[in-house]
């Protein structure tokens, strides 16, 4: 007889993992604690999803900061944003993040200053190891340096660094580091040009109200 992760044998109770492999008591207790932490995080993320639709920047950002997200006072996240573990996300000054962005925080995610991120951009820093027998997760940090522009519906994959002043064209899937000042596009993203601007000192300005 087997109930979820607990197997009942003639020798008594035995903990098993999702693959049916036996677990020691200490390992099983650690997994149980992690499972309850995951439940709490899932509940928190559900609440943040609702918070993301509050059409008042100050109130929305205040709650984000209470959740552990490191957001500079001069930066803005527009409505509809979704997160995984906001405590590992850091956003610099004068940065604007567009409508319905997805920001992964399962590994460190660092977004610099004066970064313009368009609507529905997805930034991931965790993925499954498709060569592993148990499809284990691989987590790698993502870094977006200053003065980067990211077009709408871009997907940035784990382990990527986007160099200062780079531009990512809309719809691109970024799987490798992006050189500073370059323009990349396509699936997978490749260098398609260079930005003529060499010195960056602009400010993005006021975000859209009620969004």
pLDDT digit string, tens, across residues 152-177: 999 999 999 999 999 999 999 999 99
Q: Give the residue-averaged pLDDT of 113-129.
A: 95
**Do both 100 and 145 map to the same domain?**
yes
- Closest of 131, 130, 127, 129 to residue 139, by C-alpha: 127
**Do both 176 and 72 map to the same domain?**
yes
**Do both 41 and 130 map to the same domain?**
no
User: Is the predicted pLDDT of residue 120 greater than 90, yes or no?
Assistant: yes
Report if residue 201 sits inside a domain.
no
The Cα–Cα gap between 166 and 162 comes to 7
Annotated catalytic sites, by residue? 128
Report if residue 34 sits inside a domain.
yes
**Do both 113 and 19 map to the same domain?**
no
Report if residue 114 sits inside a domain.
yes
3-state secondary structure 159-186: CCEECCCCEECCCCEECCCECCCEEEEC
User: Is the predicted pLDDT of residue 29 greater than 80, yes or no?
Assistant: no
**Do both 20 and 80 map to the same domain?**
no
CATH (domain of 120):
2.160.10.10
- pLDDT tens-place string over residues 130-153: 888 778 888 999 999 999 999 999
End-of-domain residue from the set 20, 35, 52:
52
**Do both 121 and 20 map to the same domain?**
no
Q: Range with the lowest mean pLDDT among 49-53, 68-72, 181-185?
A: 49-53
Q: Give the residue-averaged pLDDT of 12-25.
A: 60
Report if residue 68 sits inside a domain.
yes
**Do both 60 and 45 map to the same domain?**
no
Report if residue 174 sits inside a domain.
yes
Report if residue 115 sits inside a domain.
yes
Report if residue 83 sits inside a domain.
yes
pLDDT at residue number 45? 84
**Do both 139 and 112 map to the same domain?**
yes
**Do both 160 and 145 map to the same domain?**
yes
**Do both 71 and 134 map to the same domain?**
yes
The Cα–Cα gap between 83 and 60 comes to 14
Q: How far is CA 148 from CA 42, 46, 89, 124, 125, in A?
A: 31, 29, 17, 17, 18
End-of-domain residue from the set 17, 36, 52:
52
**Do both 107 and 136 map to the same domain?**
yes
- Count how many domains the chain has: 2
Q: Provide the residue range defining the domain that includes 127.
A: 56-194
Cβ atoms within 10 A of the Cβ of 198, count? 8
**Do both 48 and 95 map to the same domain?**
no
């Amino acid at each position: 007889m087997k109930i979820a992760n607990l197997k009942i044998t003639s020798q008594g109770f035995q903990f098993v993992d999702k693959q049916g492999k036996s677990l020691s008591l200490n390992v099983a207790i650690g997994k149980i604690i992690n499972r309850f932490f995951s439940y709490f995080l899932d509940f928190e993320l559900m609440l943040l999803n609702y918070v993301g639709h509050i059409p008042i920047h100050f109130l929305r950002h205040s709650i984000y900061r209470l959740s552990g997200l490191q957001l500079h006072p001069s930066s803005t996240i527009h409505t509809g944003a979704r997160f995984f573990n906001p405590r590992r996300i850091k956003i610099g000054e004068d940065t604007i993040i567009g409508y319905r962005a997805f920001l992964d925080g399962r590994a460190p995610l660092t977004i610099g200053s004066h970064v313009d991120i368009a609507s529905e951009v997805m930034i991931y820093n965790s993925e499954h190891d498709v060569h592993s027998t148990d499809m284990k997760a691989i987590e790698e940090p993502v870094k977006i340096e200053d003065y980067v522009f990211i077009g709408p519906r871009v997907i940035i994959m784990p382990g990527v660094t986007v160099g200062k002043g780079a531009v990512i064209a809309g719809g691109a899937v970024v799987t490798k580091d992006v050189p500073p000042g370059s323009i990349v596009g396509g699936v997978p993203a490749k260098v398609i040009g260079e930005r003529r601007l060499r010195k960056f000192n602009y400010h993005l300005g006021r975000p859209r109200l009620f969004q």
